[in-house]
């Protein structure tokens, strides 16, 4: 009976190795703060993109003007837009 009482106390005391330890909440430093003022655009590829910069017209390889969104999230900073 005495051993059962000691086992019970050892499991319930905060210094016990069997009880899970409490961790302090982690403040992620690597998470970037959200920018304000972005707009969703429909890209020429058929995907939606979220961009912060202005919409501009640039010349493509053929010399034609192409409408693009600038400062976009993802892999491409400039995305051609579907008209």
Number of domains in the chain: 1
Q: Which residue range is the domain that position 34 belongs to?
A: 2-80
- 2-21 per-residue burial string, b: 16 or more CB within 10 A, e: under 16: eeeeeeeeeeeeeeeeeeee
Show the DSSP H helices in the chain as ranges.
2-12
pLDDT (tens digit, 9 = 90+) per residue, 29-56? 655 555 578 899 999 999 999 999 999 9
Structure confidence at residue 67 as a pLDDT band (50, 70, 90) = very high
pLDDT of residue 69: 94
Say how far apart CA 52 and CA 49 lie, in whole Å. 10
């Amino acid at each position: 009976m005495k051993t059962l009482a000691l086992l019970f106390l050892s499991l319930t005391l905060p210094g016990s190795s069997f009880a899970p330890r409490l961790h302090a909440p982690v403040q992620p430093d690597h998470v970037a703060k959200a920018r304000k003022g972005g707009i969703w655009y429909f890209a020429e590829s058929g995907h939606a993109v979220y961009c912060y910069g202005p919409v501009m017209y640039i010349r493509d390889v053929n010399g034609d003007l192409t409408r693009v969104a600038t400062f976009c999230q993802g892999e491409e900073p400039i995305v051609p837009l579907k008209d």
